[in-house]
Chains A and B, each alone.
Chain A
Amino acid sequence: MQSNTQVIRIEPSKGWVALQLQELWAYRELLYFLIWRDVMVRYKQTALGAAWAIIQPIFTMLVFSLFFGRLGKIPSDGIPYPIFTYAALVPWTFFSQGLSQASNSLVGSANLIKKVYFPRLCVPIAAVTSGFIDFALAFMVLLGMMLYYGILPGGKVIWLPVLLLLTVTTSLGVSLWLSALNVHFRDVRHIIPFLTQLWLFATPIAYPSSLLSEPWRTLYSLNPMVGVVEGFRWALLGAETAPGPMVMISFLAALVILVSGIFYFRRREKTFADIV
């Protein structure tokens, strides 16, 4: 509880506003409740419930395995194709789901935004983070597949949290841009499906990035999801692709997206309640 002397000053903000991330910290309980709400509500009144979390990546894996692996004979760095593509689909699904949930999150919470003050950043952050449950479920399936194919991860698996952080950074960064844009331009809603589809093929999910030669391969990882996918295969499946430089570049790109996203979001934030 704050002290008596706390003074809030309300005045017009000019230009690029300070990020005030400490305020986000002050509101961490609300953030926690919003995440909890999104998790609770996600599969309410669905027949299959949380099974949806694994149905999507598994079916995509089956389709990819059939068309790209079997028929297309696409190489997979010496790893069985199904697990090769599924290991990429697990972080990818987290990313794309986060994107579609978060980009609509501000508009979906219009009622809240018009009636209560809180750092608006909470809304897309909650939408992205609540996808972790789905991620965990899909990840279990991945572990099961690794057992089946007899693939044991080596010590490289300790890098997994870093890769996860990269996934969240990317997902949040893009989501902040899209959610803030969506308040002003509902066009975003129409862009999302085909944006994620294009991005899916711009990321080495159905094919290995080793198809590309240097320096293009490294440049390719300006798409942060390239670093994520290559990193996951390297850390879990032991793909010998040495993605170090790729992950570094992806991280830089993701940070640029995230930081610019936060700034853009904060700048637009003051107009949300009037427009949404």
Chain B
Amino acid sequence: MGDIAIRVEEIGKKYRIGRPEKYKTLRDTLASSFTAPFLRVGRLLRGEVTVDTGQDEQFWALKEVSFEVRQGEVIGVIGGNGAGKSTLLKILSRITEPTTGFAEIHGRVASLLEVGTGFHQELTGRENTYLNGAILGMNKKEIDRKFDEIVAFSEVEKFIDTPVKHYSSGMYLRLAFAVAAHLEPEILIVDEVLAVGDAGFQQKCLGKMGAVAKEGRTVLFVSHNMGAITQLCGRAVQLEKGRLKRTGSAGEVVAAYLSSVAGTELKSSWSDESFTPGGSDVRFRSARLLSPDEQPLSIINFNESLLVEIAYEIKVPIRNLSVTCLLYDSMNHLVFESMDTDMPEWNGCIREPDSYCATTKIPSLLLRPGRYHLSFAAFVEGVRVIAQLRRVLTFDVSGVGYTLQPKRDGIVSPVLDWKVCRFGENGRMV
């Protein structure tokens, strides 16, 4: 313990992106399609790698990233889309080479960038187990030894000799994950494998990851699921635009990351008159998330409530118009839908043209830690949808201090008040 397991030193990765070609006439296109092959063969013979025409733009997917992971440590890698997380994993998995810098990995490593890599549709579950095991770096003896365990874990015993093309997507995933879960590397590199499958499957994955971590193996774990990161990882690194933004304890890095993305995603407004999604009878003006004392929110903890505010304008009188707010979790499950006309006094009312601002409160201790999206729509019940805004607000519920078992099923995990009475032998309350 305490020794270095992964050392990343000034790693950089440059990609080239070809510029979009300028407009050409058909004649030019035809002409170039005849001459281009010769030009390209010429370039090829000179040993140039790229297929694209001369003017390439360079793009650093990763730049000067350095960090170390000690043996037995579980480290999370977070960052927005395009921050370079996947590139980092690909380099550490030796799938692609860095352009600059180097990395050292001490020990037997297995990387899991996807479950079911190399599964062949035409082969049976049994055959795929062997094939996939070999691809992930197990030898035949190892797979022989663990085969029964893998099948039991996957719960597809009955269908193990059926071609996987006849599997349901759930069975397919379970078998694929079962193979991966029985890898025994010293260092495990895992990409967002938890982003697929249903909630039960995700919990199973998380549980297995936790078990691996407890066995003292080194794990490098990339995820968008901040809850998973804070639960599993001791330390985290945050990437931003290919650079290392911060490292530290998982809780701190996650909190800092959430607050840095918050400003842009917790508020949207549309002042542009031409922005009329779904028609001009109702126009959305702005939508934002606020803390209970009406401050714009930066971090939402699971034990804090939050206010949702939507401002809109009605241009013509409409009977029974409602503005609804739909909350989706990271798996795109609808958590709930709530309308600004849910209060009984609105029943059957005509909404007069004017500006409106509707606010509601999502109670604390209801949402489980994770990422959520809010969509809004204006509609007349059972008649028509007038305007729709999909996924306009995104926020994360952080799980710092979360005490409930993460394995619990259900889309929401409300922390309810329980009163538990205990009765002694004589039937009296103790």
> Do A and B make up one complex?
yes
Q: Which chain A residues have a beta carbon within 8 Å of chain B's beta carbons?
A: 1-2, 4-13, 29-30, 32-33, 36-37, 40-41, 44-45, 111-118, 181, 184-185, 187, 268, 270-271, 273-275
Chain A residues with Cβ under 8 A from B102's Cβ? 9-12
Task: Select from chain A the residue with minimum beta-carbon distance to B92.
Answer: A10
Flag whether B98 is at the interface (Cβ < 8 A).
yes
Contact A6 B108 (CB under 8 A): yes
Contact A273 B135 (CB under 8 A): no
Contact B117 A4 (CB under 8 A): no
Task: Select from chain B the residue with minimum beta-carbon distance to A10.
Answer: B103
Q: How far is the CB of A2 from chain B (nearest CB, A)?
A: 5
Q: How far is the CB of B68 from chain A (nearest CB, A)?
A: 14
Chain A residues with Cβ under 8 A from B15's Cβ? 274
Stretch at the interface among B118-126, B236-244, B285-293, B375-383: B118-126
Contact B107 A4 (CB under 8 A): yes
Contact A41 B131 (CB under 8 A): no
- In angstroms, Cα B51 to Cα A4, docked, is 42
Interface centre among A10, A113, A181 (most CB of B within 10 A): A10
Task: Select from chain A the residue with minimum beta-carbon distance to B12.
Answer: A12
Given A8-B94, A41-B123, A115-B114, are A187 and B104 also a contact pair (CB < 8 Å)?
Answer: no
Chain B residues with Cβ under 8 A from A117's Cβ? 93-95, 111
Contact B135 A118 (CB under 8 A): yes
Q: Which chain B residues have a beta carbon within 8 Å of chain A's beta carbons?
A: 15, 37, 40, 44, 49, 51, 90-109, 111, 113-114, 117-118, 120, 122-123, 127, 130-131, 134-136, 139-140, 186
Contact A116 B117 (CB under 8 A): yes
Contact A8 B99 (CB under 8 A): no
Chain A residues with Cβ under 8 A from B130's Cβ? 33
- In angstroms, Cα B105 to Cα A184, docked, is 30
Q: How far is the CB of B133 from chain A (nearest CB, A)?
A: 8
Given A41-B123, A270-B96, A271-B49, are A10 and B111 also a contact pair (CB < 8 Å)?
Answer: no
14 cross-chain CB contacts under 8 A: A5-B106, A10-B92, A10-B94, A29-B140, A30-B135, A36-B131, A37-B127, A45-B122, A112-B118, A113-B95, A115-B113, A115-B117, A181-B44, A275-B51
- In angstroms, Cα B139 to Cα A36, docked, is 14
Q: How far is the CB of B258 from chain A (nearest CB, A)?
A: 29
Knowing that A40-B122, A116-B113 touch, tell me 13 more A-B residue pairs with CB under 8 angstroms.
A4-B107, A4-B186, A10-B94, A11-B101, A12-B102, A29-B139, A33-B130, A116-B111, A116-B136, A118-B135, A185-B51, A268-B49, A270-B97
Task: Select from chain A the residue with minimum beta-carbon distance to B133.
Answer: A33
Interface of A is mostly: helix
Given A11-B101, A273-B90, are A111 and B117 also a contact pair (CB < 8 Å)?
Answer: yes
Contact B108 A10 (CB under 8 A): no
From B51, B98, B139, B186, A10 is in contact (CB under 8 Å) with: B98
Given A1-B108, A184-B51, A185-B51, are A10 and B123 also a contact pair (CB < 8 Å)?
Answer: no
From B40, B49, B93, B101, A116 is in contact (CB under 8 Å) with: B93
Chain A residues with Cβ under 8 A from B97's Cβ? 10-13, 270
Q: How far is the CB of A217 from chain B (nearest CB, A)?
A: 31
From A9, A185, A271, B104 is in contact (CB under 8 Å) with: A9
Given A11-B102, A40-B127, are A115 and B107 also a contact pair (CB < 8 Å)?
Answer: no
Q: How far is the CB of A186 from chain B (nearest CB, A)?
A: 9
Contact B105 A10 (CB under 8 A): yes
Chain A residues with Cβ under 8 A from B93's Cβ? 116-117
- In angstroms, Cα B139 to Cα A2, docked, is 12
- In angstroms, Cα B139 to Cα A4, docked, is 18
Chain B residues with Cβ under 8 A from A36's Cβ? 131
- In angstroms, Cα B97 to Cα A1, docked, is 25
Given A12-B100, A116-B111, A270-B97, are A41 and B122 also a contact pair (CB < 8 Å)?
Answer: yes
Q: How far is the CB of B15 from chain A (nearest CB, A)?
A: 7
- In angstroms, Cα B51 to Cα A12, docked, is 21
- In angstroms, Cα B91 to Cα A57, docked, is 46
Contact A10 B104 (CB under 8 A): yes
Chain A residues with Cβ under 8 A from B113's Cβ? 115-116
Contact A185 B40 (CB under 8 A): yes
Q: How far is the CB of B389 from chain A (nearest CB, A)?
A: 35
Contact B96 A273 (CB under 8 A): yes
Chain A residues with Cβ under 8 A from B108's Cβ? 1-2, 6
Q: How far is the CB of B326 from chain A (nearest CB, A)?
A: 34
Q: How far is the CB of A30 from chain B (nearest CB, A)?
A: 5
Interface centre among A7, A29, A181, A184 (most CB of B within 10 A): A29
Chain A residues with Cβ under 8 A from B51's Cβ? 184-185, 275
Chain A residues with Cβ under 8 A from B140's Cβ? 29
